[in-house]
Amino acid sequence: MKKLNFIQYYLILALSIGLTSSCTKEISEQNPGKQTNPVILKILKFQSKLQHKSLETLAIDSAEWYLEALMNYENANNSHRLSNQSFYHDTIFVTGTNGTLSMTQIIEAYDQFSAQINQILSNQNDTSFKMDMINITIHETSLKDGSVELDMDAVGGWRTVGDYIAFGTEDHWYWGLDQGKCGSFSGGIPSDASDELQYRFNHPIRVLEEGSFISTSIENQFAFGKNYPDPNNPGPYCSCKIFKYYLFNPPPPGTPDPCLSPEELNFYLSTFDYIVSDKRPIGKTFKNVEVIDDVIYSSVYNINHTYKLYYGIFVPSGGEE
C-alpha cells in the first residue's frame, strides 16, 4: 500500500537528510532547485498545488499519501528522541466522487489537521514539546454514498538532548546548594541545577542493555570544567562543557547566586557523553555519575560542578555480579 511505503521511506529520509520541524512559510521559501530528493520534490510540488488551490482531483490512496507526507514534512520532529509521548486524534468527513477527492476537500482536511497540530503545540507552552509523527488514514464510510473519513493520529512528546530529557522553558535553576528555581520561577522543591542534571544523566531515554557490573571492578573519575573549555556554552557564567563560575573578586553581598537557564542546562546535557567517553578507563563501561556542587573557599570566588563518574566491567544478563 502506498502509505506503508511512504512511512518506511520517509523514516529513512529523516535520518539521511535530517528533516526537522518547519512551518509552511519556511518550506515555501526554500529553493526547490536545491531539493534533489525525488520524494521531497513530490511533497513540495503537492504543497504548491494546495497553496495555489489547484482544481485537479486525486485518487483516495494518493490523497492519503500526499497529505500524510506534507503533514510530516512540515510538523514532525523525526529524531524520535521524545519522552512522555502523548497521542492525539482528529477526524473530518467529506464526500468523494468515484474514489477521488478534489483539491478543495484535501485543503479542508489539511487546514483542519494543521490547526489541530498548532493548537496542540501552543497548549504546551513549552518549546521542547514536538510532534514525533503524523499518520493519515482515509477510508470510505458505511453509508455507501461516496463519503469518506479522514483520520489523523498524531504523536507528540518532549524533545531530548542526545540521550537525555531536555530542560523546558520553566527550568531555571540555581547552580547548587538546593536553592531551587530562580528568576521568575523561584521557589519550589529543594533541588538545584546539579541535582537536576544528575537525575537526567542517570536516567537516559535509551533502552539500557540488561546486565550487571562486577562489584570489585568499580572505579571513579573526576571531571572539572576547567579541563573542558568550550566557547559554545551559552553562558553567561563560563565557556566550558561543565559549569564553573570563577571571579577574582567576590560579588557584592546580596548578589544572587548564578541562575542557570534551560539553554545553558541543555548545553551541559549535550556535552555529557563526550566527557563520559573521554574519562572512560580502558575496558570499562560507564555506570553512573554524581554531580557535585562545589564551593572552593579561597581568596577568589570559585563555585562549580564536578562530575564524579563511575565505571566498571559490565557483564550482560546472566553474567557475574
**Along the 321 residues of the chain, how does pLDDT read in single tens digits?**
344 444 444 444 443 334 333 333 333 334 444 456 788 889 999 999 999 888 889 999 999 999 999 999 999 876 667 777 889 999 999 988 888 999 999 999 999 999 999 999 998 877 778 888 899 999 887 777 778 999 999 999 887 888 899 999 889 999 999 999 998 887 768 899 999 999 999 999 887 888 899 988 999 999 999 999 999 999 899 999 999 999 888 888 888 899 999 999 999 999 999 999 999 999 999 999 999 998 887 778 899 999 999 999 999 875 444
One domain for residues 121 and 184: no
Question: How high is the pLDDT of residue 79?
Answer: 60
One domain for residues 21 and 150: yes
- Do strands 57-59 and 129-140 pair parallel, antiparallel, or not at all (unpaired)? unpaired
Number of domains present in the structure of the chain: 2
**308 is a domain residue:** yes
One domain for residues 115 and 180: no
One domain for residues 308 and 171: yes
One domain for residues 200 and 239: yes
Last residue in a domain, options 113, 133, 160? 160
Q: Going by C-beta distance under 8 Å and a sequence separation of 6 or more, which residues neighbour residue 219?
A: 281, 284, 310, 311, 312
Q: Going by C-beta distance under 8 Å and a sequence separation of 6 or more, which residues neighbour residue 194?
A: 175, 176, 291, 292, 293, 305
| Residue 9 Ramachandran class (φ > 0 left, ψ -120 to 50 alpha, else beta) | alpha
Considering the entire predicted model, what is its pTM?
0.70
| Residue located via cell numbers 542557570 | 260
Domain ranges, residue 70: 2-160
Outline where 1-102 has alpha helix (H).
2-17, 24-28, 38-51, 60-75
Question: How high is the pLDDT of residue 9?
Answer: 46
**228 is a domain residue:** yes
One domain for residues 9 and 155: yes
Look up residue 309 and give its three cell numbers: 563518574
